[in-house]
Amino acid sequence: GYYAVELVNDSLYDWNVKLLKVDEDSALHNDLQILKEKEGTDFILLNFSFKDNFPFDPPFVRVVSPVLSGGYVLGGGAICMELLTKQGWSSAYSIESVIMQISATLVKGKARVQFGANKNQYSLTRAQQSYKSLVQIHEKNG
């Protein structure tokens, strides 16, 4: 499979999604192979948090690990994608299609694993702050 889902503390509102495969021709794919040799993990761990009004609002999605550069990943691990905003979201989207879009966006944005990066730089709070400021910029400037 391309991904695996685990509930965090059995909560339907909080999912960890392991992105197991990205485009094999991408630099990110090669980086994940190196990561496997170095650290024993070869996946990108995403966290999806859902509000009560899902599917009418998008989930909040962030990268948990590894630390990435590029690929539309913001400070704290937030992901910059229109489909994850209220304006770009549709309640018709399936979570599977969202995961595939994220995978494609990471590759398209030339995401790379930041080997040796401080793993503490990604947190829910920091990701939410980055996301909020991004949304404000988009609402002002379109």
Active-site residue list: 80
Is 18:45 a contact under the CB 8 Å cutoff?
yes
Beta bridge partners of 45: 18, 65
Q: Which residue type does 2 have?
A: Y
Alpha-carbon distance 26 to 39, whole Å?
A: 20
Burial letters 28-67, b for 16+ CB under 10 A, else e = beebbeebeeeeeebbbbbbbbbeeebeeebbbbbbbbbb
Given the DSSP bridges, would you call strands 44-49 and 68-69 parallel, antiparallel or unpaired?
Answer: unpaired
Taking 3-state DSSP, the helix, strand and coil percentages for the chain, each rounded to the nearest 5, stand at 40, 25, 40
